[in-house]
Chain A
Amino acid sequence: MPTVTGLRATAEALAAIFWKGLKHYTRYPGGFVLYLVMPFLFTLLIFGMGQFVGGSEAALNFAARTGTTNILVYEILGSAVWMTSWVVVEDVGVALRDEQIKGTLEQNFLAPVNRFTLLIGLSLTDIVITTTLFFAVVGVTVMVTMPGSFFNIMQAFLTLLVGLIPLFGIGFLFAGFVVRFKEPYVFTQILNLIFATLTGTYYPVTFLPYWIQLLSGILPQTYVIDSMRKIVLANQTLVNLYGSLFILLALALAYPTLGYAVFKQLEKKATVTGEFSKY
């Protein structure tokens, strides 16, 4: 049977994995609806806590500590990045476990497509999902509450795109752990909650203890959330934020490299123990 090689082979395999993922999303739409409403629900929760527990000075304190009075946009930006991170880490990290439970993981691994292509293919679907999520949640909220900020939204979106690369690396890392140790949701859900706490999702990172800020500093979401808030709420541009962008690019190199190396090691171990077919 004639086959294709090189870039064309990789591109066609990526496209197939991407379409398969997208078809699954459209045929199991519940997950997407959940990702779509959660940023609003979490923002409401935080807003309610501030309003009803913080007392009459809450809004003033918020403005003093965050530099903005637009509580809704401030919180929705944090929520949207958190959800994006949730989608990527959970989807890429858990995807292989899902395949394992479905019984299709071995079928994918039987094919001559390389494992990196498989992981990247899974991530491509997520780029579409998270982009839709971003424009449906952030785009709509900002356009309604701050008309005329289209250019800012596009810059915020670019920041998010750069931030997705290290997040995929974290996803690869967890994909390895999940294939080897199973119990994916223990890993990803604990991690996602830690991310929300450390990355300034609902409050400025600068109020965290110094040693925790060191941890925040190695997480890409911290820079994405901070930059997006500065762009949308303080009218800064990507050019002004070159420091954060530089760190994000460095993390974009480090996390996927580390993630894939760990994945390959744990995958190798799984072929020794016969883990692929175990549920």
Chain B
Amino acid sequence: MNPVEVQSLSKVFETKEGPLFRKVPKSVVAVDGITFSVPKGEIFGLLGPNGAGKTTTIKMLCTLISPTSGDALVNGYGVTKDPQKVRENLGVMLTGERTLYWKLTGRENLEYFAALYHLDSSHMKKRIAELLDMLGLKDRENMLVENYSTGMRIRLSFAKALMNDAPVLLFDEPTASLDPQSSRLIRDIIRDLKRKGHAIILTTHNMEEADLLSDRVAIIDHGKIVTLGSPSELKEKVKSSDIIEIEARNLSDRTAHALESFSEVSKVAISSQDPPGEKGMLKVHAEKGKEVLSKILEFLVRKEVTITKVSFIEPTLEDVFIAETGRSLRD
């Protein structure tokens, strides 16, 4: 059995919307019957836009949210049947820097959580020293977390997730808000954990990160896994068409999607522009792109779009997302 087995997992939140005394019940499907497994020594990426269901999936796996249906096993223990055992087998880093006690020092935070994980105190000190050293926090261990920089807090939060050396690790956007140097450090550690045989689930909306780190990626949208495979397999799927990237001003959704009426064009996605009229990015997936390019540019110019740059690009995981959903990851 794999360390992580997820079978038809769903989560529906029942909410009420509307003015006071006239609230109407509403069901929101956050996760919709997803199935996957993660073997030992694999980094499994959950990639999707904000609100796709990644964090809800992670929270169901770590027992903070109970599933509406389906089940998940962590190291053989069911998240609903044996939540205590699941927690013993997990190391979790949830997103954000407010996951620590700001009025405690870095070391005090780790000591506190080590006790909640029931770590043997004789090994705990060594483990804490090792983690602080690994994450470059050794010389700041006795400083209150409120005086840490954002990057230091995130690194400490990451150290906390590694504290119990759990076989299954869940990292929710582990490098969000980190500078490139710290991001590289975290990625190197994640790769090292994989080599040591940990099963790792990583959620991100950063496609480069998913591509760099993951052995397999599940692209998730509206709570469903729309495609699953290794980054190279997924990118290979979209290689049958050319990808034209157009940087332009005055792009509108309407103009962009009008391009889909061209028979050669399979998918179009536009990055959101804020404020309108500023530069935007259009990605067009088209068969025989070189032949259809002049037609596309002509159409855009006619619609008073100012084109500043055109290039043919190699597919990325974002292009896989566009091909599967017709939307950009940043939408």
Contacts and interface: CB of A to CB of B under 8 A. Distances in A.
Interface of A: 1-5, 9, 12-13, 15-17, 19-20, 23-24, 27-28, 102-104, 106-114, 268, 271-274, 276-277
B231 to A, nearest CB: 29
A102 B65 contact: no
B104 A23 contact: yes
Interface stretch (B38-46, B93-101, B198-206, B211-219): B93-101
B123 to A, nearest CB: 5
Contacts of A107: 94, 99-100, 113, 160
A99 to B, nearest CB: 9
Given A23-B104, A112-B88, A1 B119 contact: yes
Given A13-B115, A23-B103, A111-B87, A1 B165 contact: yes
A9 B164 CA distance: 14
A5 B98 contact: no
A16 B59 contact: no
A9 to B, nearest CB: 4
Which secondary structure dominates where chain A touches chain B? helix
Contact of B64 (A13, A15, A16, A106): A106
Q: Which of B56, B65, B92 has the most CB of A within 10 A?
A: B65
B116 A108 contact: yes
Contacts of A17: 112, 115-116
A112 B115 contact: no
B118 interface: yes
B6 to A, nearest CB: 18
B90 A110 contact: yes
A4 B117 CA distance: 9
A29 to B, nearest CB: 11
A2 B103 contact: no
Given A1-B165, A2-B120, A4-B120, 4 more contacts: A20-B104, A24-B103, A107-B99, A274-B64
B66 interface: yes
B13 interface: yes
Contact of B113 (A3, A111, A114): A111
Contacts of A16: 111-112, 114-116
B101 A20 contact: yes
7 contacts: A5-B118, A16-B112, A107-B160, A112-B85, A114-B84, A271-B65, A274-B56
Given A20-B112, A114-B84, A271-B66, A106 B99 contact: yes
B66 A112 contact: no
A274 B99 contact: no
A274 B13 contact: yes
B108 interface: yes
Contacts of A268: 66
B121 interface: yes
A110 B118 contact: no
B59 A102 contact: no
A117 to B, nearest CB: 9
A240 B88 CA distance: 50
B317 interface: no
Contacts of B144: 27
Contacts of A24: 101, 103-104
Nearest to A24: B103
A110 B103 contact: no
A271 B163 CA distance: 25
Contact of B99 (A27, A28, A104, A113): A104
A1 B13 contact: no
Contact of A276 (B64, B96, B115, B165): B64
A106 B87 CA distance: 12
A28 B104 CA distance: 11
A28 B113 contact: no
B220 interface: no
Q: Which of B59, B88, B96 has the most CB of A within 10 A?
A: B59
A106 B94 contact: yes
Given A4-B118, A13-B116, A110 B164 contact: no
A1 B123 contact: yes
Contact of B65 (A103, A108, A112, A274): A274
Closest 10 CB pairs of A and B: A103-B98, A16-B115, A111-B116, A9-B118, A1-B165, A112-B87, A2-B120, A113-B116, A112-B88, A271-B66
Given A1-B119, A28-B103, A103-B98, A110 B64 contact: yes
B299 interface: no
Contacts of A1: 119-120, 123, 127, 163-165
Interface string B122-146: 0100010000000000000000100
B148 interface: no
A277 B99 contact: no
B119 A271 contact: no
A5 B96 CA distance: 31
B117 A3 contact: yes
B208 to A, nearest CB: 27
Interface in B4-39: 13-14
B87 A110 contact: yes
Interface string B70-104: 00000000000000110110101010101111111
